[in-house]
Amino acid sequence: MSLALEGKPRTAAPAVSAPPGAHVVLDITGMTCATCAGRVENALRRVPGVAQASVNLALERADVDLGAADVTPAALAAAVERTGFGAHPRPPSAAERRREEDSREAERVAAERRQLLLLVVSAVLTLPLVLPMVAAPFGLHLHLDPWVELALATPVQFLIGGRFYKAAWKAVRAFSGNMDLLVALGTTAAYAFSVYMLFARGADASGHLYFEGAAAVITLVVFGKWLEARAKRGTTAAIRALMTLRPERAHVLRDGAEIDIGVDEVRPGEGVVVRPGERIPVDGTVAEGESEADESLITGESVPVVKRVGDKVTAGALNGVGRLVVSAVAVGEDTTLARIIRLVENAQSGKAPVQRLVDQVSAVFVPAVIAIALGAFIGWFAAGHGVEEALIAAVSVLVIACPCALGLATPAALVAGTGAAARAGILVKDIEALERAAVVDTVVFDKTGTLTEGRPGLTDVVPVDGGDKDALLRLAAAVQAGSEHPLAKAVLAALPGVALPPVEKFRALVGRGVVGTVEGRVVAIGNRDLMQELAVDIAAVAPALAHIEGEARTAVVVAADGKPIGVLGIADPIRPEAIEAVALLAARGVRSEMLTGDSEGVAAKVAGVLKLHAYKSSVKPAEKSAALEALKAAGRKPAMVGDGINDAPALAAADVGIAIGTGADVAVEAAPVTLMRPDPRLVAAALDISRRTVRKIRQNLFWAFVYNVVGIPLAALGFLTPALAGAAMAMSSVSVVTNSLWLKRWRPDFSAGQTKR
């Protein structure tokens, strides 16, 4: 159910056209079931210029992708409102969205309380009606005067149940059907028949009245909607928690003074003071001070991280006991936190492929149910039963068939699952990838920065024929000064503060090395492929190469003017979590493989330590995607884990791309799944939450279909009274949402050798 937000006027939709290709988000009010969401979706898709529209019942949200034509958000909102629902474009800035979400949450709570009040009144009026029915099996014969039954049932039917009539009328005007239409038809038929019998027979109508059935159905539906609303508020807790991380105000240093301004007014490059115990308002680097930052709600890492001058900090992190001055780098919508919120919102509003089946069923569900109810009435009447028995069967069919559970089955599980993943530092932005991750049987890792620390250090400097080590290192460092490669940084780190000669004609050759001119000499630094490409004979350094590679270290040759002058050895230590990560995957029946551009010796050593199932060495970046395609051709379901930038082609080629990164540097646009901290164990956790979410979706759909597939025939055959049908229908929605909420309890399980289910 979607609680209609009452009592607070909405801001008019902006008349400015959204640019072609833009993405517009609308908050929708008044939806109650899957058919309502389908009506809104169809209305939006019919607007000229709309390329695609998707409506999420659980989040009360519509996502619209625009095509080539300009479309105003006001036109989109008007199209929705013509179908009988409310629509309001979502504000663009994070601060406005947070304020609106706070307002919506307050309105939801108020509406929930009003609904609880209506439920209590309805229950008080209904209880005397159903009491005789409940007492009869115990030999107690309680009777109410028929006119008292009418007096009790009428306010329940038209005051408490008035909402169903309003929504049903909107559906009829739109030539559509929804849950409210079924409830209105069913309860009205039972109530009207009872009124007819009462006026036709008077006191003799006792025992042939169904006021209690109509009142019980309305009370049970209202009860189910109240429970459903409470449960649904829990599924969106992840977004609300992320929104509260961003401070509203920031202390900025301007003209030598510290002033308080709105966080959206902070400019990049300004100094922002973060006092002890405050949340950091911007992404940036520490310019002054030392402290610890709790980044757990962003990265999922519970241990505070020490922050010193030069370290990067992320908006939303909680500062410890020290005072920091942060130089702002990213503010407002550009911060990591803002991007995370957008990713989680987009993931939760997405539509899994399995939902397409639900949409197809929902489109024909209500007309089919009405036809079945009419058929049940005609069948019972034609079989010689009276109008009374025929009416009971028809009303029971209408009541039990409300498709609320179908509409909530997928979005409720997606919202709960992606929210739990986000709290653990796993961001899912592609819902289709979530389904694919559930069946992954092979994980392919990049090596550097994924299985290893990614911060290699220089371990060997071996000049040819016992030459000058310092001269060799100085020449190599001069060329590497023009490179951002991690191996280059290891060489430069070995000569801190040393003045280096300038490099000219610098070239970086992806996957092979670098070339540049230093002091008139053409210097090349790289692997065997580069030396072969440059026709450099490496026989003189072959022993040194073999020794370094035999120790599982990376060996690079330094050549000057076409001749080798030495070899550098560089080691990139294996991450301590990598061994456990591979064991976790193996325990889940998933193969672990590695693709690396490193040499055979280094690759074999790393693969042996980690107990990988397979590996390929000396693989160029362009060849990684081909390796993934080969795995898929062999019938495997591979996921690729890399840094999200250099491995972009391979991430795209895999069934599921998983980018592994840290805090503000995470490449959130590179893959459908992003890990917010460089812990390879989170790969197994990502597969776990994907499997659990997909399993919840299937469980929800199973129960939603079972309620209808089993319940409708039972109702048509006369085995269910309208009251029992109403109870079953109400519990179907509650069970679906409650089942989904179990995902909120999920936490990554790093116990190697066992799978958390």
pLDDT in tens, 260-269: 988 888 888 8
Radius of gyration of the chain (CA): 33
Residues 6+ apart with CB under 8 A from 31: 2, 37, 40, 55, 57, 60, 85
Averaged pLDDT for residues 372-400: 84
**pLDDT band at residue 665 using 50, 70 and 90 as cut-offs:** very low
pLDDT greater at residue 343 or residue 4? 343
Least confident span in 98-107, 214-223, 403-412, 459-468: 403-412
Question: Are 249 and 262 in contact, with CB atoms under 8 Å apart?
Answer: yes
Tell me the fold of 457-571: Calcium-transporting ATPase, cytoplasmic domain N (3.40.1110)
CATH 1.10.3720.10 matches 441-453+575-654: no
CA-closest candidate to residue 354, choices 413, 440, 417, 421: 413
Higher pLDDT, 379 or 740: 379
**Rounded distance between C-alpha atoms, residue 274 and residue 282, angstroms:** 10
Give CA–CA dist 397/301, Å, rounded.
51
Task: Check whether 1 has a pLDDT greater than 60.
Answer: no
Cα→Cα distances 513→70, 378, 492, 542, 548, Å? 48, 82, 15, 18, 18
Residue 304 φ/ψ region, left for φ over 0, alpha for ψ in the -120 to 50 degree band, beta for the rest: beta
Measure the CA–CA gap between 467 and 557, rounded to whole angstroms: 15
Tokens of 427: 């961001």
CB atoms within 10 A of CB 294: 17
Length of the chain: 757
Please indicate whether the domains covering 1-90 and 457-571 agree at the CATH topology level.
no
Across the range 606-619, mean pLDDT stands at 89
Q: Which amino acid, residue 7?
A: G
Which whole number is the average pLDDT over 734-745?
Answer: 82
In this structure, are strands 86-89 and 61-66 parallel, antiparallel, or unpaired? unpaired
- Give the pLDDT confidence score for residue 642 in this predicted structure: 83
Which amino acid does the sequence have at 209? L
**pLDDT of 171:** 74
* Amino acid, res. 671: A
Residue 417 φ/ψ, nearest 5 degrees: -70, -45
- Predicted local distance difference test score (pLDDT) of residue 668: 47
Count Cβ neighbours within 10 Å for each residue of 17-44 and write b for 16 or more, e otherwise. bbeeeeebbbbbbbbbbbbbbbbbbbbb
Q: What string of DSSP letters covers 418-445?
A: HHHHHHTTEEE--HHHHHHHTT--EEEE
* Threshold 0.75, pTM exceeds: no
Give me the half-sphere count of Cα atoms (radius 13 Å) on the Cβ side of residue 108: 23
Q: Reply yes or no on whether the pLDDT at 316 is more than 50.
A: yes
> Of 22-31, 88-97, 439-448, 467-476, which has the strongest mean pLDDT?
439-448
Residue 664: pLDDT band with limits 50, 70, 90 = very low
Distance of CA 30 to the CA centre of its chain: 24
Fold classification of 247-334 (topology level): 2.70.150
Tokens of 228: 């459903």
Most confident range, picked from 8-22, 435-449, 486-500: 435-449
Q: State residue 687's pLDDT score.
A: 94
Going by C-beta distance under 8 Å and a sequence separation of 6 or more, which residues neighbour residue 106?
Answer: none
Q: How do the domains of the chain map onto residue ranges?
A: 1-90, 104-237+345-415+694-745, 247-334, 441-453+575-654, 457-571
Q: Which pLDDT does position 420 carry in this prediction? A: 86
| Pairwise CA distance, residues 509 & 512, whole Å | 5
Q: Give the Å distances, CA to CA, from 41 to 80, 430, 573.
A: 9, 20, 52
pLDDT of residue 755: 40
279 secondary structure, DSSP code: B
CA dist., res. 549 & res. 656, Å (int)? 32
Longest CA–CA span in the chain (Å) reads: 118
Angle at 468 between CA 462 and CA 474, to 5 degrees: 85
Q: Whose structure tokens read 């919202």? A: 415
Q: Which residues pair with 326 in a beta bridge?
A: 272, 286
Residue 496 CB contacts under 8 Å (≥ 6 apart), including other chains? none
At 401, phi and psi to the nearest 5?
A: -85, 5
| Residue 296, pLDDT score | 64
Residue 667 has pLDDT above 80, yes or no: no
Cβ–Cβ < 8 Å for 29, 9: no
pLDDT tens-digit series, residues 56-100: 776 788 888 887 667 888 888 888 888 888 888 877 666 666 677
Q: How many Å apart are CA 436 and CA 439, to the nearest integer?
A: 6
Q: What is the distance of C-alpha 426 from the center of its chain?
A: 9
Alpha carbons 524 and 111: distance in angstroms, whole number: 71
Which pLDDT score is estimated for 274?
92
pLDDT in tens, 240-255: 666 677 788 889 998 8
- Top pLDDT among 352 and 549 is at 549
pLDDT of residue 164: 83
List, in order, residues 6 or more apart from 212 with CB less than 8 Å away. 126, 129, 130, 132, 133, 149, 153, 723
Q: Residue 550 is which amino acid?
A: G
The mean per-residue pLDDT over the stretch 500-515 comes to 83
Task: Report whether 448 contacts 571 (CB < 8 A).
Answer: no
**How does the average pLDDT of the chain come out, rounded?**
79
Residues with a catalytic annotation lie at 446
Report pLDDT for 4: 33
What's the average model confidence in pLDDT over 676-699? 90
697-701 contacts at long range (C-beta below 8 A, 24 or more positions apart) = 697/352, 697/354, 697/409, 697/410, 697/413, 697/414, 698/354, 699/739, 700/405, 700/408, 700/409, 700/410, 700/412, 700/413, 700/736, 700/739, 700/740, 701/354, 701/357, 701/358, 701/406, 701/409, 701/410
Contact 122, 115 (CB under 8 A): no
Please give the CATH topology (third level) of the domain spanning 1-90.
Alpha-Beta Plaits (3.30.70)
H helical segments located in 383-502: 387-400, 404-423, 431-437, 469-480, 486-493
d(CA 251, CA 258): 6
Q: Out of 343-357, 422-436, 513-527, 708-722, which region has the weakest mean confidence (pLDDT)?
A: 343-357
Residue 686 has a pLDDT of 93
User: Which residues neighbour 357 within 8 Å (Cβ) at sequence distance 6 or greater?
Assistant: 701
Angstrom distances, CA of residue 479 to CA of 180, 390, 521, 562, 570: 73, 90, 11, 15, 16
Mean pLDDT over 357-365 rounds to 65
Distance CA 383, CA 538 (A): 97
Q: Which pLDDT does position 407 carry in this prediction?
A: 62
324: confidence class by pLDDT, cuts 50, 70, 90: very high
Enumerate residues 6+ apart whose C-beta is below 8 A from 684. 581, 584, 585, 588, 590
User: Is residue 12 pLDDT above 50, yes or no?
Assistant: no
* Number of Cα atoms under 13 Å in the Cβ half of residue 539: 1
Residue 689 contacts residue 426 (beta carbons within 8 Å)? yes
- Say what the pLDDT of residue 3 is: 31
- Beta-sheet pairing, 324-330 with 271-274: antiparallel
Residue 236: pLDDT band with limits 50, 70, 90 = low
In this predicted model, which residue has the larger pLDDT, 150 or 553?
150
757 band by pLDDT with thresholds 50, 70 and 90: very low
pLDDT, one tens digit per residue, over 326-354 is: 999 888 777 777 776 766 666 555 555 66
DSSP 753: T
The Cα–Cα gap between 148 and 137 comes to: 23
SS3 291: strand
pLDDT of residue 405: 65
Of 246-250, 313-317, 583-587, 699-703, which has the strongest mean pLDDT?
583-587
